[in-house]
Amino acid sequence: MADASNPAPRGVPRTLALELARVTERAAIAAARLRGKGDEKAADQAAVDAMRDELNALPIRGTVVIGEGERDQAPMLFIGEQLGRGDGPEVDIAVDPLEGTTLCAKDMPGAIAVMAMAERGSLLAAPDVYMQKIAIGPGYPAGLVDLDASPTENIAAVARAKGVEPNQITALILDRPRHAALVAEVRAAGAAVRLISDGDIAGIIFTASPEETGIDLYLGTGAAPEGVLAAAAMRCIGGQMQGRLILDTPERRRRAAEMGIEDLDRKYDLTDLVSGDVIVAATGVTDGALLRGVRFKPDRIQTETLVYRSEAGTVRRILGEHRRGLS
Ligand code: VTB
Ligand code: MG
Ligand code: MG
C-alpha cells in the first residue's frame, strides 16, 4: 500500500500494457461470438461483462471515468465504478467495450473493443453527449487546423502543409444527416469525403497514417466518450485533435455541470482531453482497416490487438492465439 515514505508511483506502469491487451482481447472474443446475429445489445453486454471481469483481476485501483453510462442506466462499467483488486496504482479508466455495436450486429467492418488507462485525473470526464471533433496526423505545424476555422480553411491549410492541391485531400466523416452541409462544403472546397457508418475512434486514428489509409483529416460530430478514447490514442501516436462538447439542451448542460465542466463552450485540445500518461488497447471484433477481427479456429482463437503507450510513444500490434478455455 502507498504511504508517505513510499508514495504510489505516478503514471501507469508499463507492465500494464500487456494486461490491457488481455482485457480487450477477451471483450472482443466475447462480442465476436455474437457477430452478425443482429443483436447489438447482446453483443455489447457480452463485451461489457468480459471487460469488467478482466479489469477486476488487475492489480490496480481503477475508477471508470468514461463508461457505459450512469449507475442507474448501466449495471456495469458505469461512471464512478471502482475496478481492480485494489492493491496497485490509482488509475482512471475509459472503456468502449464494443465500439460499433451495429457493425458487430451486422458483421460489418470496423467493430473493436477498446479501452484506455491513465494517470488519475488525466482523462476528461465527458458526459455522453456529442462532441464536435477535428483531427490530423503527426508531422504538421502546431495549430494548423482549428474547430473554429471553416472546413474550407482547414482543408486549404492541410493541403498547403502537404504541398498539394485540396483535390488531393480526403476527409473522413460519419455518414449522418447532420453532416450534410459539412460534406457539401468539404466537396466544394475540392476535397474528397470518405463516409463511415460508425466507428470514429478508428476514423480518427486513420489520420495518423495517411499514406496507408488515404485519410488526411477527420471532421464532424460523434460521441464525446469516443472522442476521449480517440484522443488517448492520438496522444501516443502523435497528431493533433480538438473537441468541443455539444451541450444544446438544458439537460445536457446540467449533466456536464454535474461532471465538473465549468466552461460549457470550451474548445479542448488533445492535451486537455487526455493530459497525462496513458495506455490504450484495441482489439478487432470484425475485420476492419485498423484491425483484423477475431478468427475462430477448431483448436484456437486468433486476435489482433494494438497497444499504444504515451510515455514512450510506442505502438505495438499483437497477434494473439488463445488455445485454452475456448468454449
Ligand atoms: C458515434 C460515434 C461512434 O456511434 O457515437 C456514433 O462516435 C453514434 O452516432 O463511433 P449517432 O448518434 O449519430 O448514430 C459510433 O459510430 C459507434 O459507437
Ligand atoms: Mg459502447
Ligand atoms: Mg462506441
Answer yes or no: do 186 and 293 share one domain: no
Answer yes or no: do 170 and 135 share one domain. yes
11 lines ligand 1 (CB under 6 A): no
Residue 54 forms part of a structural domain: yes
Q: What is the mean pLDDT of residues 188-211?
A: 98
Cβ within 8 Å of residue 243, ≥6 positions away:
131, 132, 133, 147, 224, 227, 231, 267, 268, 273
- 99 pocket-lining for ligand 1 (C-beta < 6 Å): yes
Question: Is 7 inside any structural domain?
Answer: no
- Which of 112, 128, 174, 252, when mutated, tests ligand 1's pocket best, judged by the most ligand atoms within 8 Å of its CB? 174
Q: Which of 122, 111, 213, 224 is nearest to 172 (CA)?
A: 213
Q: Are residues 293 and 264 in the same domain?
A: no
User: Which residues 6+ apart lie within 8 Å of 15 measured at CB?
Assistant: none
CATH, residue 316: 3.30.540.10
Residues 96 and 136 in one domain: no
Give which of 156, 172, 164 is closest to 209, Cα–Cα. 172
Residues 137 and 261 placed together within one structural domain of the fold? yes
Do residues 60 and 29 lie in contact, with contact meaning Cβ atoms separated by under 8 Å?
no
To which residue does cell 480526403 refer?
170
Position 207 in a domain = yes
Per-residue confidence at 74, pLDDT binned at 50, 70, 90? confident
Cell of 104: 458487430
Decide if 153 is inside a domain: yes
Range of the domain at 149: 130-273
For the CA of 74, the nearest ligand: 2
Question: What residues contact 132, with CB distance under 8 A and at least 6 apart?
Answer: 147, 220, 221, 243, 244, 246
* 107 plus 153 within the same structural domain: no
What per-residue confidence (pLDDT) applies to 1?
47
Domain assignment of residue 40, yes or no: yes
Question: Considering the domain boundaries, does residue 11 fall inside one?
Answer: no
Residue 246 sits in a domain whose CATH number is: 3.40.190.90
**ipTM exceeding cut-off 0.90 for this assembly:** yes
Same domain, 135 and 269: yes
Q: Is the CB of 44 under 6 A from ligand 1?
A: no
Residue 73's pLDDT is 81
Ligand 1 atom closest to the Cα of residue 99 is: 18
Domain end marker among 234, 253, 273: 273
Residue 293 is classified by DSSP as -
Determine if ligand 1 sits within 6 Å of the CB of residue 97: no
Average pLDDT, the chain: 95
Confidence of residue 101 (pLDDT cuts 50, 70, 90): very high
Distance (Å, rounded) from C-alpha 112 to C-alpha 130?
A: 20
Cα separation values, 165 from 170, 172, 189, Å: 11, 17, 10
Say which residue, 151 or 75, is predicted with more confidence. Answer: 151
Q: Is the pLDDT of residue 6 over 80?
A: no
- Residue 256 pLDDT > 50, yes or no? yes
Minimal CA–CA distance to 272: which of 232, 237, 317? Answer: 232
Q: Mark whether 284 and 304 lie in a shared domain.
A: yes
Same domain? 250 vs 284:
no
Summarize pLDDT for 215-253 with one digit per residue, the tens. 999 999 999 999 999 999 999 999 999 999 999 999 999
> Stretch 297-310: mean pLDDT, rounded?
97
| Nearby residues of 116 by Cβ (< 8 Å), 6 or more positions away | 66, 93, 94, 123, 228, 229, 232, 233, 274, 278, 279, 280, 281
In a shared domain, residues 55 and 86: yes
Residue 296 and residue 233 in one domain: no
- Coil vs helix vs strand at 114: strand
Q: Is the pLDDT of residue 3 over 80?
A: no
Could you identify the atom of ligand 1 that is nearest to the CA of residue 198?
A: 16
The answer to whether residue 112 is domain-embedded is yes
Closest ligand 1 atom to residue 100 Cα is 17
Binding residues: 44, 68, 96, 99, 226
Statement to judge: residues 284 and 236 lie in one domain = no
| Entry pTM | 0.96
Domain membership of residue 327 (yes or no) is no
What's the total number of domains in the chain? 2
Using a 10 angstrom Cβ sphere, with 0-12 exposed, 13-18 middle and 19 or more buried, the burial of residue 168 is middle
pLDDT digits (tens, 9 = 90+) for 154-167: 999 999 999 999 99
Q: Which ligand is nearest to the CA of 44?
A: 2
**Number of the ligand 1 atom closest to the C-alpha atom of 178:** 13
**The pLDDT value given to residue 2:** 45
- For ligand 1, pick from 44, 131, 196, 198 the residue to mutate: most ligand atoms within 8 Å of CB: 198
Amino acid 18: pLDDT: 97
Is 7 a residue whose pLDDT tops 90? no
105 CA → ligand 2 middle, Å: 13
Q: Which ligand is nearest to the CA of 246?
A: 1
Q: Is the pLDDT of residue 102 over 80?
A: yes
